[in-house]
Amino acid sequence: MRVLFLGLAAAGLCACSKSDSAGEERWLETSQRQEVIVFKDGLPDKDLPEEKSFYFQSRKLSPTSGQVNESGIYFYKLEGDSISLRSRDERYYFKMGNDSKSFIIGRFFHDVGGLPEKLEFERQ
């Protein structure tokens, strides 16, 4: 009985690992594989004019780095080939891949380890 319970618990954890709730899309930065973006309202779509949100999980910074960890919720709107972040009133490059399994976004956070100005994220 105990083995069955542990097996069911492990299966439940695996099922939840890619997204915590319905409608969330989890994406991992491809070069260093440490930054994560989770679109809370499903895939970004430039054909939908309403504002949506994502949350950003930055790598853990060392206590001596002196930089602010920019993890948190960002509200955005897609406009052509850019993403407009409401909290900063700034635009960054954004292009969804043709297969909707990856996208490229301008680095909207401080460089913490040699990341390029445009980052590719892949769906998890």
For 23-48, what is each residue's pLDDT tens digit?
788 999 999 999 999 998 777 776 66
For the chain, percent of residues with pLDDT exceeding 90 = 48
Q: What does the pLDDT average to over 95-111? A: 94
Structural domains in the chain, CATH included, are 21-123 (2.40.128)
Report in angstroms the alpha-carbon separations of 118 from 13, 23, 30, 56.
33, 26, 11, 16
- Tell me the C-alpha distance between 88 and 63, whole Å: 25
- Tell me the C-alpha distance between 51 and 41, whole Å: 10
**pLDDT confidence bin for 122, thresholds 50/70/90:** very high
